[in-house]
């Protein structure tokens, strides 16, 4: 379970990284990227930034672009935030939305099957 400090740092990073990606990063490899969450390690040295990429065919390219922008983002975070240590940023693709849609589709199929059985 994350401590209060971890949650606060994660929320702060989430907001700042989202703003930087939206207004400051001009890398052509990055399409429309949405930061969905940030997890911070217990020692606040590492942060996992979860992103959703709008174009599924560009996921690898976008993650490479984000990895190359990580040092710039970390430097900007160090200038904008009051933190003793800015965590090392690692970007991961967030697949929770896709899993949720798949579960919803399966539940709809089950519901349709039950309706068909009731009609018989």
Task: Render pLDDT for 7-63 as a digit per residue (tens, 0 to 9).
Answer: 999 999 999 999 999 999 888 888 789 999 999 999 999 999 999 988 878 889 999
| Range list of H helices, the chain | 4-23, 59-80, 96-119
- Integer distance in angstroms from the first to the last C-alpha of the chain? 49
User: What is the mean pLDDT of the segment spanning 114-120?
Assistant: 73
Residue 89: pLDDT band with limits 50, 70, 90: very high
Quote the pTM value: 0.80
Provide the residue count of the chain. 120
Nearest-angstrom CA–CA distance, 75 and 86 = 8
Query: What's the confidence (pLDDT) of residue 120?
Result: 67
Q: Which fold has domain 4-94?
A: GMP Synthetase; Chain A, domain 3 (3.30.300)
Query: What's the confidence (pLDDT) of residue 116?
Result: 74
Q: What is the mean pLDDT of the chain?
A: 89
């Amino acid at each position: 379970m994350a401590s209060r400090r971890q949650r606060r740092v994660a929320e702060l990073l989430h907001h700042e990284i989202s703003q930087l990606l939206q207004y400051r990063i001009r890398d052509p490899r990055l399409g429309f990227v949405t930061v969905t969450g940030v997890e911070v390690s217990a020692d606040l040295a590492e942060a996992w930034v979860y992103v959703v990429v709008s174009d599924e065919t560009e996921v690898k390219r976008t993650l490479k672009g984000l990895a190359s922008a990580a040092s710039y983002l970390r430097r900007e975070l160090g200038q904008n935030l009051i933190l003793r240590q800015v965590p090392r940023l690692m970007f991961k693709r967030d697949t929770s939305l896709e899993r949720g849609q798949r579960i919803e589709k399966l539940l709809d199929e089950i519901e349709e099957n039950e309706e068909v059985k009731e009609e018989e």
